[in-house]
Structure 1
Amino acid sequence: MLVRVAAGIILREGQVFIALRSSDKHQGGLWEFPGGKCEEGEVSLSALARELNEECGVEVLEASHFQTVAHDYGDKQVELVFFTVTKFSGEPHGREGQEVCWVPLGDLVNYAFPEANRVIVESLLK
């Protein structure tokens, strides 16, 4: 079963906003770029806007496609559509109680991400 996910790389002043996945979720205990599953028939950008509002309390004002990553975890296949979010309203926070933080781009290597996100971290560090 393929799961389509829209994720936001929220950028501000050389930093990126990341969230810690709940330990009861797939790949729990690892850091991620916030976002979530696309609903049936929902376009990725709409899913991104909905999920970032639900998870982080922000309204996406400007986002552009960054990269799409397909990954097979064995128990789950995912297609992750990453967007850079450069304009938003509201201050991102862990609206669902998740741990979150702003991290300088160069420090991303110090955080453990799910395997499917590593190519994104590498791309951001170039």
Structure 2
Amino acid sequence: MKVVEVAVGVIKRADKIYISKRADTLHQGGLWEFPGGKREQQESIEQALCRELLEEVNITVLEQQALMVIEHDYGDKKVKLDVRLVEQFLGEPSPQENQLAQWVNIDELNNYEFPQANLPIIEHLMKN
């Protein structure tokens, strides 16, 4: 089974994280997520994240740093999430694909339902 490489942005401002809800028609649809998307073949993970965050939430990433890499097998799909922390960006995040999106306090992330592969990100954020 092919592994889908995904650039994931944890967009952080003070003690809040920007999350969005996946469209019902997508894999793991209806669940909340950290914005990002698939890496194209010719892109680095950093380039993919910049492109995806501009497309999805209309921000220009100024700086990003590696947070963690997560490999997860959903049974019908394998993903490799390259998770990057984004604290320096231009613009105000806003949904560009008609998805619900909002800023959430880090200590409230457990109140939202995320895909299984995202749970280690939430655990990491709540510990730090």
Q: TM class by shorter-chain length?
A: over 0.9
Q: Residues of 1 paired with 2:23 and 2:119: CA distance?
A: 19
Q: Does 1:68 align with 2:69?
A: yes
Q: Residues of 1 paired with 2:111 and 2:61: CA distance?
A: 27
1:42: Cα distance to partner?
1.4
Residue 4 (structure 2) aligns with: 3
- TM score, norm. by length of structure 2: 0.97
Residue 37 (structure 2) aligns with: 36
SS of equivalent to 1:47: helix
Q: Residues of 2 paired with 1:5 and 1:117: CA distance?
A: 12
Q: Letter of the 1:34 partner, please give it.
A: P
Q: Letter of the 1:94 partner, please give it.
A: P
Q: Letter of the 1:68 partner, please give it.
A: V
Q: Residues of 2 paired with 1:36 and 1:21: CA distance?
A: 11
Instruction: Kindly report the root-mean-square deviation, in angstroms, between the aligned alpha carbons of the 2 structures.
Output: 0.5
Residue 106 (structure 2) aligns with: 105
After TM superposition, what 4+ stretches of structure 1 lie above 4 angstroms from structure 2?
none
Residue 53 (structure 2) aligns with: 52
| Unmatched 5+ stretches in structure 2 | none
Query: Sequence identity, in percent?
Result: 48
Q: Residues of 2 paired with 1:78 and 1:9: CA distance?
A: 17
Q: Residues of 2 paired with 1:13 and 1:77: CA distance?
A: 32
Residue correspondences, number:
126
SS of equivalent to 1:45: helix
Q: Letter of the 1:43 partner, please give it.
A: S
| Unmatched 5+ stretches in structure 1 | none
SS of equivalent to 1:53: helix
1:41: Cα distance to partner?
2.9
Q: Letter of the 1:90 partner, please give it.
A: G
Q: Letter of the 1:71 partner, please give it.
A: H
Q: Residues of 2 paired with 1:32 and 1:2: CA distance?
A: 19
- TM score, norm. by length of structure 1: 0.99
1:77: Cα distance to partner?
0.4
SS of equivalent to 2:26: coil
Q: Residues of 1 paired with 2:44 and 2:14: CA distance?
A: 29
